[in-house]
Amino acid sequence: MAERQGAAPPLVVDGLTFRYRARPEPAIRDVSFTLEPGELLLVAGTSGCGKTTLIRCINGLIPRSYKGELSGRVLLHGQDTGGMSLSRISQIVGTVLQDPERQILGAHVFTEVAFGLENLGVPRDEIVRRVEETLDYLGISHLRGRETFYLSGGEKQKVALAGVLAMRPSILLLDEPLASLDPASAQEALALFRRLVDEGVSILLVEHRVEDALSIHPDRVLFMEAGRITYSGPVDGLMEVVDHRQVKLPAPVVMQHAAAGPPPVFEPAIQPDGREPLVKFEDVSFAYGDGPEVLHDVSLTIRRGDIIAVLGPNGAGKTTLVKHAIGLLKPRQGRVLVEGRDTREISVAQIAHTLGYVFQSPSHMLFAATVREELAFGPRNLGYGEPEIAAGVEGAIDTVNLRGLEEYPPLALSFGQQKRVSIAAILAMRSKILVMDEPTSGQDYWNYMAFMNGILQMPGFAAVLFITHDLDLAICYANRVILMHEGRIASDGPPAEVLTAPGLLRRCRLVPTSLLEVNLKHLPETGRFMSAEALAHAIAGTPGPSRTQPEAPVL
């Protein structure tokens, strides 16, 4: 899909340093490396370490769209990008963003994929041929006529990739491309990336899901910390030098490292009683516009003490289900009751006192001038007094690790940091039930473990529900798992029951992880699922509290 252009390497980054105008310190510092033809380079690192900034420097958005102080240079096939137009760079470098919402402009899938080619003045017949070939190449021809607004997050990610591949770049920059994909789709996407590399495309893959990315054998790994490259070399070397708490590594590797440290202590503040119903779905069905039904006769009850993980393939109806609970959508048939009141009869603002919702895309939520103002907005609208607001804001900042960023503009932060701001904004509202859509998207391992631990240990929540494609998140934290498939509930129960059926997992496009495998191996002796860190001590017989999961509720 790409042609080699001369003898020079496709990409050379030389002494690159950049500081955003709105930030006091550089986002990246003296970064240098080379990307060879047909090479797959994995870039890993903690949230906010500069990975996305590096991508913006390579694709020309810095300094053209993002202003600040830039030094160093970027060479594409030997040519300095400083003297190239953005349209010329885009013909060589294709970029898939973390958040597909920011990339999709077209109303329909076909026009979205054709958009870049139209901007380049490609003849119509050639556009049609390239779009059709790309949709077929990615296996999404069935989406051709769909409206982009009604696509799931994973479907949008695939369409965004199609729009880039249709332009046939020789260099592909992938910024967290797995974040919105279900596990099976993520495996398919990774196989596609390997296929593109084997066909000659040079790929720079930024990804927190390092364990998944290792399955396609990256040629090299760069590890970044605080804007600098601290490791460059083979994958095996990364395992030796990186802190297992910074990067999500295979569970056996984490267990080996964790066994040498103290056992983790985790006791959630949410305690199941299995009795008080908070939200109830009664035979709920729903369709967008004149389209097909997205939910089919869904019935379920969320009770006090539930920590629920909602899993399932892209397009299964997970987000649609949650939007009914918070009143953004109303059932076509059936009804949803929030603390006994029909959502048709109460406002979204009234429901917000009971359910706080963190959107999948932070760009749907963030607007204030500073992080502190963003966090104060919701509780102020709900009528809290200023002392309560201040206390809630400070607690939320600590819980999601935003200390030091309080006066920064939220939209000037990295995607992972923006995600944490959106979660903190809901934490500050102190709703009874916390609902999060893909909370770990864009998060490094340390941050997502830290804020999940913090959230579940905060007093005041009666229940927590999170939509996720991260099977390990459900294993570590949920006491109840709901599997959705084609708008229906395929299974509902404790993780150690729901996640032990291989056929069901395949049907719901869930791929067993190394953490699931080691938990299943030791389940007869542990009796429940655990994080890798806790499991390392449990199987070694370490005494003391190392609980990572509350007891299953009565369903």
The Cα–Cα gap between 100 and 160 comes to 6
Length of the chain: 555
The tens digit of pLDDT for each residue in 382-398 reads 888 999 999 999 999 98
Summarize the confidence of residues 421-445 as an average pLDDT.
Answer: 86
The Cα–Cα gap between 430 and 416 comes to 22
Instruction: Report the pLDDT value the prediction gives residue 541, as an integer from 0 to 100.
Output: 63
Q: Are strands 307-311 and 355-358 parallel, antiparallel or unpaired?
A: unpaired
CB pairs under 8 A, 24+ apart, for 345-351? 349/381, 349/382, 351/326, 351/327
The Cα–Cα gap between 294 and 316 comes to 7
Contacts of 37 (CB under 8 A, 6+ apart): 4, 9, 10, 200, 202
258 or 204: which leads in pLDDT: 204
pLDDT reading at 2 higher than 60: no
Q: Which two tokens stand for residue 176?
A: 């967290």
The tens digit of pLDDT for each residue in 5-30 reads 447 999 999 999 999 987 889 999 99
Check: CB of residue 395 under 8 Å from CB of residue 458: yes
The tens digit of pLDDT for each residue in 518-551 reads 999 999 999 999 999 999 999 876 444 444 443 3
pLDDT reading at 420 higher than 70: yes
The Cα–Cα gap between 518 and 471 comes to 13
pLDDT reading at 1 higher than 70: no
Label residue 208 exposed, middle or buried (CB < 10 Å: 0-12, 13-18, 19+).
Answer: buried
Q: Are strands 341-342 and 333-338 parallel, antiparallel or unpaired?
A: antiparallel
Q: What are phi and psi of 405, to 5 degrees?
A: -110, 10
Contacts of 239 (CB under 8 A, 6+ apart): 249, 253
Q: What pTM does this model have?
A: 0.81
Packed helices 445-457 and 415-427: angle between N→C axes, nearest 10 degrees: 0
* E-state strands within 347-392: 355-358
Domains of the chain, earliest start first: 11-241 (3.40.50.300), 277-510 (3.40.50.300)
The tens digit of pLDDT for each residue in 440-450 reads 877 778 888 88
- Whole-number average pLDDT of the chain: 89
Residue 273: other Cβ atoms inside 10 A: 11
Q: Name the nearest CA neighbour of 372 among 353, 391, 349, 397.
A: 397
* E-state strands within 408-551: 433-437, 463-467, 480-485, 488-493
The Cα–Cα gap between 128 and 111 comes to 10
Check: CB of residue 60 under 8 Å from CB of residue 11: no
* Termini Cα distance of the chain: 52
pLDDT reading at 94 higher than 50: yes
Percent of the chain whose predicted confidence (pLDDT) is above 90 = 59
The Cα–Cα gap between 186 and 180 comes to 9
Question: Maximum CA pair distance of the chain?
Answer: 70
The helix (run of H) or strand (run of E) holding residue 222 is strand 220-225
Check: CB of residue 30 under 8 Å from CB of residue 15: yes
DSSP 264: P
Residues β-bridged to residue 287? 293
